[in-house]
C-alpha cells in the first residue's frame, strides 16, 4: 500500500514540476521598456499649457508589466493633482506588439476602448495608438534619445482625418 502512495506522489511531482517551472519563468528582457524605468521629470506643453509632471516607472507583477505613475506638480483647489495617471505597458510576444492600459483622472466617460493602446515593436520608439472608434484616434509616441538617455513625448488626436497636436514634452531622469 505504501509503494502505491509513493508512486502516486512521484507521479504527481513529475507532472507538476514542469508546470511550476513554466509559471516561474522570468520574462525576456525588454531594453526599450527597461529604459523607461526610474524617476523622471516630464516638462513641456500639454493641452496648450506649460506643465511639469513627476513620473515613476517600475516593473510590477513579476516583471510582466511596466507601471508608470504620472502626477502633475500643479494642484487643484482641493489639493489633488491636476493630472494623475497609472499606466501599464506589457509586451505581447504572440503579436509582437506592446499593449498599454492608460488610466487617468481626466474622464472615463465613453472610453471603454479608448484606454487600451497597442504599438508595434521598434528599437527606440513606443508609438501607442488608442482607437476610440473607426474615425477617432489618439497617438502617444514616446521616442528614446540614445545620446542623452531622455524621452520625447508627442501626442496628437485624430478625428475624421483632422490631426491636432495635444502634447510635446521632454522627459529626463531625476
For 16-55, what is each residue's pLDDT tens digit? 444 444 445 555 568 899 999 999 999 999 999 999 999 9
With 60 as the cut, is the pLDDT of residue 9 above it?
Answer: no
Residue 149 domain flag: yes
Whether residue 21 lies inside any domain: the answer is no
Instruction: Report yes or no on 104 lying in a domain.
Output: yes
Measured CA to CA, the distance from residue 130 to residue 150 in angstroms comes to 23
Q: What predicted TM-score, i.e. pTM, was given to this entire model?
A: 0.81
Measure the CA–CA gap between 173 and 56, rounded to whole angstroms: 10
Any idea of the CA torsion for 15, 18, 20, 26, to the nearest 10 degrees?
-170
Mean pLDDT of the chain: 86
**38 within some domain:** yes
What is the DSSP secondary-structure string of 112-169?
TTTTEEEEE--SSEEEEEEEEETTEEEEEEEEEETTTTEEEEEEEEEETTEEEEEEEE
Total domains in the fold of the chain:
1
Q: What is the pLDDT of residues 95-140, one digit of tens each?
A: 999 999 999 998 766 556 668 999 999 999 999 999 988 899 999 9
Q: How far apart are CA 38 and CA 66, in angstroms?
A: 11
Dist CA 18 CA 39 (whole Å): 38
In a domain, 3, yes or no: no
What pLDDT score does 17 carry? 42
20 located within any domain: no
What CATH number is given to the structural domain containing 124? Answer: 2.40.128.20
Amino acid at each position: 500500500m505504501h509503494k502505491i502512495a509513493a508512486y502516486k506522489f512521484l507521479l504527481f511531482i513529475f507532472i507538476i514540476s514542469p508546470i511550476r517551472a513554466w509559471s516561474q519563468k522570468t520574462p525576456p528582457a525588454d531594453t526599450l521598456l527597461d529604459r523607461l524605468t526610474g524617476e523622471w521629470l516630464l516638462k513641456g506643453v500639454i493641452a496648450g499649457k506649460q506643465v511639469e509632471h513627476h513620473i515613476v516607472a517600475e516593473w510590477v507583477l513579476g516583471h510582466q508589466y511596466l507601471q508608470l505613475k504620472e502626477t502633475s506638480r500643479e494642484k487643484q483647489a482641493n489639493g489633488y493633482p491636476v493630472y494623475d495617471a497609472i499606466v501599464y505597458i506589457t509586451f505581447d510576444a504572440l503579436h509582437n506588439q506592446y499593449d498599454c492600459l492608460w488610466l487617468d483622472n481626466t474622464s472615463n466617460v465613453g472610453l471603454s476602448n479608448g484606454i487600451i493602446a497597442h504599438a508595434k515593436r521598434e528599437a527606440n520608439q513606443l508609438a501607442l495608438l488608442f482607437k476610440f472608434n473607426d474615425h477617432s484616434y489618439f497617438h502617444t509616441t514616446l521616442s528614446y534619445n540614445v545620446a542623452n538617455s531622455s524621452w520625447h513625448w508627442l501626442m496628437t488626436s485624430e478625428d475624421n482625418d483632422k490631426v491636432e497636436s495635444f502634447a510635446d514634452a521632454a522627459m529626463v531622469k531625476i
